[in-house]
Amino acid sequence: MLEELPIRKIIHVDMDAFYASVAQMDNPELIGKPIAVGGGETRGVISAASYEARKFGVKSAMSGRLAIKLCPELIFVKTDFARYTEISKQIRSIFYDYTDLVEPLSLDEAYLDVTKNKKGNPSASLIAQEIRVRIFNEVGLMASAGISINKFIAKVASDYNKPNGQKTVNPEEVLQFLEDLDIRKFYGVGKVTAEKMYQKGIFTGQDLKSKSLEYLDKNFGKSGRYYYSVVRGIHNSEVKPNRIRKSLAAERTFSENLSSEIFMLEKLDHIAEEVAKRLKKNDVAGKTITLKIKYSDFTLQTRSKTLAYFVSDKSLILETAKNLLYQEKLNNSVRLLGISLSNLNTDKGKKAKPKVDDKKSVSVQLRFDF
């Protein structure tokens, strides 16, 4: 028996190469040129790359050193989060003209529930198109969008016709769309998981759908239930206008590797100060302090301590971070340090997982207007 799921009209709007596009908009001389935001020729990690740079294989999270090898003409520009935040607010103000059910995922993407919208427009596809045109005319940037019955499919669809495009997956098209989808396109399936799925003969949504819940639980742990559900079009998460922040962090990549804890104390002081500023700005505090250490060989280590009380004061954060630093000997010289606070006073606990019935799949009303 098929499951009668709530049918919503969800739009996922994703700005195209947001950081890089803002840099090009603010400096027309960069338009049409390969640029990377953040990083540098010797140190650092790239935050974003323009589409011109992506043609050479340059992408976010790549070291600047590797990026310049791939694209010798690459231009590095500094990050400007104040500017990104300013632009993001302009874009969100456009969203709120259509619905109050807006769930930002980051500065450059958000979910919108337009099942009932302020314009009285029954077509989510036309709303998405109108929003994209307004973003271009009023802000000067291009956006892509995905439209479907739930957040998962909308997010997958927004990447389908990038840049400056949109994709609608109508209710009657959902199951076929998911079956035909390359497993690498499934939101929540990372590079490592995709390789594991390949090894087990899972290359498409149809391959994934052929696996039982027991098989997926056994081979993919807690994520197995999620994969089992989404490939059947089941994803009941609502658009949450007030997303609860789970953690807050700051980190620094150094121009030269540091080999002694003594040299790291000054760096930790600056990082703790930045974390404290962000905590104050967001009016939150946390109990769990985590020190992030990335070594010169790019291996990553974290050390955490949970306190009996919430903290937001720089001195307490710094003192705990220092203790974590001295907790054990460093494995190598260090290229990056970071401090994060989690277990925040905004946490309200996790909801119980919904039960999944092997025999259930998505059922939709085909006359539902998209």
DSSP type of residue 137: I
Say how far apart CA 268 and CA 287 lie, in whole Å.
Answer: 18
Q: Given the DSSP bridges, would you call strands 35-38 and 3-4 parallel, antiparallel or unpaired?
A: unpaired
Q: Which of 120, 218, 118, 168 is nearest to 11 (CA)?
A: 168
Contact present, 312 and 285 (Cβ < 8 Å): yes
| Contact predicate 163/20, CB 8 Å | no
CA distances, 191 to each of 183, 204, 365 (Å)? 10, 14, 35
Half-sphere exposure at residue 148, Cβ-oriented, CA atoms within 13 angstroms: 28
CA 231 to chain centre: 20
Strand 10-15 relative to strand 109-113, pairing: antiparallel
Angle formed at CA 146 by CA 141 and CA 152, multiple of 5 degrees:
130
Q: Which residue's entry shows tokens 């089941």?
A: 234
Amino acid letter for position 351: K
Positions marked catalytic: 109
